[in-house]
Structure 1
Amino acid sequence: MSDQAHAPTARSRVTAPEEDVAEEVLKLGEFQDVDTLTLSEASLVINALMTKRRKDRKERNETDILNATLDYLDAFARFKQKENVEAVERLLSPHKELTKFERAQIGSLCCDSADECKTLIPSLADKISDEDLQELLDEMGKLLSA
């Protein structure tokens, strides 16, 4: 039996010098200032487009990827009613201290507590007080049960 060390079973991760990162400091590269949708907003947009295409009897080209995306959004979009999706956007949009990405994450994750939200979205740490964030989350929570 040989005393040779076994080769590692996993390769070390190579990171690109300008990799996009959503940690304490957001580094979103070319997507830094791009409008970002919540999962609920994305669901509304894609479903509305699909409905219009069906109504217009246009070629729908429903690929496996599109169907998988719709299934994902159906499972994870927290707000199903258009009115509630719009209400969440109205709650989030005045918070200009938060990036569009952060607002979309808050609207998609629907955390129960400010602590949970700041754990999942570390870049929020010094941007919004726990009290203000909790108030925002509580208002969004009311829309979940509506």
Structure 2
Amino acid sequence: MANYTHPSTSRPPIKIITSEQEEAGTELKLGQFQSTPTLSLSEARLIINAVIDRRHAEKKRFTETEVLTKMTEYLDTFARFRRKETIEEIDELLRAHAVFDPFEKSQLATLCCESYEEAKTLIPSIANKITDGDLQELLDEISKRRNFVE
């Protein structure tokens, strides 16, 4: 059943051709995805839930597959922010730091590091892009918006 595709809802797989090795180390090497916009888990959760809600509201023929169910469960578990307003505030905070690559911004929003040391360890490519003090201030601002009971 894993290889079954429904003709009206399935899309052909995207072929990714790359001649280089992608790496998110001290230097970002993301190949053709280098400047591609990325989403934090919170943003992905918000978008996917909105699409699901719209499909249910429009009463379109919609089957929640096992993959979709598992993905929404994963996002519900690991998304740090739940409210749209909070997600927009985090995005605004991160957009103010133009030195970061889109991938780095989504990682900062997803990981919610408590200290600049932790952030630089988990996202090594940001190490020389921002001072420790400014990074800690950014992390503190993100942390202020994190509500564990959202």
The answer to whether the superposition gives a TM-score over 0.5 is yes
Deviation per residue, 1:33-74 (Å, 9 max, x gap): 111011100000000000000000112232111111111100
1:108 to 105, 110, 129: 110
Larger radius of gyration: 1
1:42 to 38, 41, 44: 44
Counterpart in the other structure of 1:71: 73
Q: Which amino acid aligns with 1:59?
A: R
* C-alpha spacing 1:110/1:124, structure 2 compared with 1 (3 Å): same
For residues 61 and 89 of structure 2, what CA distance do their matches in structure 1 show? 33
For residues 30 and 60 of structure 1, what CA distance do their matches in structure 2 show? 33
For residues 102 and 134 of structure 1, what CA distance do their matches in structure 2 show? 15
For residues 47 and 34 of structure 2, what CA distance do their matches in structure 1 show? 22
Counterpart in the other structure of 1:24: 26
For residues 59 and 19 of structure 1, what CA distance do their matches in structure 2 show? 41
Runs of 5+ unmatched residues, structure 1: 1-15
For residues 29 and 63 of structure 2, what CA distance do their matches in structure 1 show? 35
For residues 116 and 61 of structure 2, what CA distance do their matches in structure 1 show? 45
Deviation per residue, 1:17-40 (Å, 9 max, x gap): 612110001111111111101110
What's the Cα RMSD here? Answer: 1.4
Runs of 5+ unmatched residues, structure 2: 1-17
Counterpart in the other structure of 1:139: 141
Which range is displaced more, 99-108 or 59-68? 59-68
Aligned residue pair count: 131
Q: Which amino acid aligns with 1:128?
A: I
- TM-score, normalization: structure 2? 0.84
